[in-house]
Amino acid sequence: MADKPLRVGLLGYGTAGAVFHAPLIASTPGVTLDAVVTSNPERQAQVQKACPDAAIVDRAFALWEREPDLVVVATPNRTHVPLALAALDAGIPIVVDKPFAPTADEGRRLVERARSLGLFLTVFQNRRWDADFLTVRRLLDEGALGTVTRFESRYERWRPNLRDNWRELAGADEAGGLLFDLGSHLIDQALHLLGPVTSVYGELDRRRAGSAVDDDAFVALTHASGVRSHLWANALAAQLGPRFRILGDRAGFTKYGMDVQEDALRAGGRPGDPRWGEEPPSQWGRLGADGSSSDVPSVPGAYQEFYAGVVAALRDGAPPPVDPLDAVAALEIIDAARRSALDGRVVHLDAPA
């Protein structure tokens, strides 16, 4: 069995399943896509075309009966917790797409259930393998900026028209809106780079006519180290700000443009293709002080590393590629930002141990 690929069951074949998970699973040695769960006839036809060797089933319980080695939960946010719990109770290790859960308490419940059953659990925070993020991490590790004092990060888009999908649905259990959708990435990256947070301030607005959920989000974090992070997510950004702007006492780093891997996946590209994840020089960031800066070639993006890490964890006992407790910490900040946005006050978190 150790020589056979791990058989993966994929729950859901919307954007997350079709654009990210299925292609990345297919590109990773040691795993194979065994089955996809979708009851939508159009998506079933898409699976047949894109993943001809995968079985198609229309209910989760039919997937449990196939006894896969791993289940990926890539369904609407409101279903993440019940489906993940059902998979764990069926004795199956799981990957859960972001946002991990609608609340930090529900996220902790999943972590505790997995631990009590001795089962693997991780969260798909693929943006840890964006080219820009990997570049920033390298610069910080090298001390190129000196002591960092301010961290600014943005996911901004120009999407003035509402879309008819579950991400636009209101209701606490839906976990809709940009704070959950893009904020999950922004907050995870800030925590991963700069460590625990002691206070949170949030602003949430609905700018597009008819929007039922936040489409303009701002979160300010104070880290235990004293660094301040300012994070923006916006669906109505007619002019985009820098993806990253980071200031230190030695130098600053400013970078525009989004990672190229998502567009490549949508166009049919796959990890392993020539120049996969490489950004053009026009998207490289600049490092230095005012009046004296230079281009920094971007580290190639590497989404394939997530599932490679899953294989290493399940085969060799390596740590999960993303600790699910990191996702719980991000949800605590989302919870705090939502509370702050209601009354305009800063929310103080428990001091890190």
Q: Are residues 83 and 153 in the same domain?
A: no
| CATH code of 71's domain | 3.40.50.720
Is residue 328 domain-resident? Answer: no
Q: Give the pLDDT mean for 31-58.
A: 96
Cβ atoms 76, 98 nearer than 8 A: no
d(CA 63, CA 272): 29
Q: Give the pLDDT mean for 237-251.
A: 97
Q: Are residues 262 and 314 in the same domain?
A: no
pLDDT-derived band at 165 (thresholds 50, 70, 90) equals: confident
Query: For residue 325, is pLDDT > 70?
Result: yes
d(CA 290, CA 89): 57
The partner residues of 151 in beta bridges, in order of sequence, read: 229, 246
Q: Are residues 222 and 253 in the same domain?
A: yes
Q: Give the pLDDT mean for 320-333.
A: 98
d(CA 37, CA 8): 11
Q: What is the pLDDT of residues 57-102, one digit of tens each?
A: 999 999 999 999 999 999 999 999 999 999 999 999 999 999 999 9
Domain count, the chain: 2
pLDDT-derived band at 301 (thresholds 50, 70, 90) equals: very high
Q: Are residues 88 and 229 in the same domain?
A: no
Q: Mapping DSSP to helix (H, G, I), strand (E, B) and coil, where does residue 82 land?
A: helix
pLDDT-derived band at 282 (thresholds 50, 70, 90) equals: very high
Q: What is the pLDDT of residue 353?
A: 45
Is residue 1 domain-resident? Answer: no
Q: Are residues 36 and 53 in the same domain?
A: yes
Q: Are residues 111 and 28 in the same domain?
A: yes
| CATH code of 137's domain | 3.30.360.10
d(CA 27, CA 328): 29
Q: Give the pLDDT mean for 26-51.
A: 96
Is residue 36 domain-resident? Answer: yes
Structural domain boundaries, residue 209:
131-302+333-348
Q: Are residues 136 and 96 in the same domain?
A: no
d(CA 203, CA 340): 7
Question: How does 202-217 read in b/e, with b if 16+ C-beta sit within 10 Å?
Answer: bebebebeebebbbbb
Q: Are residues 160 and 80 in the same domain?
A: no
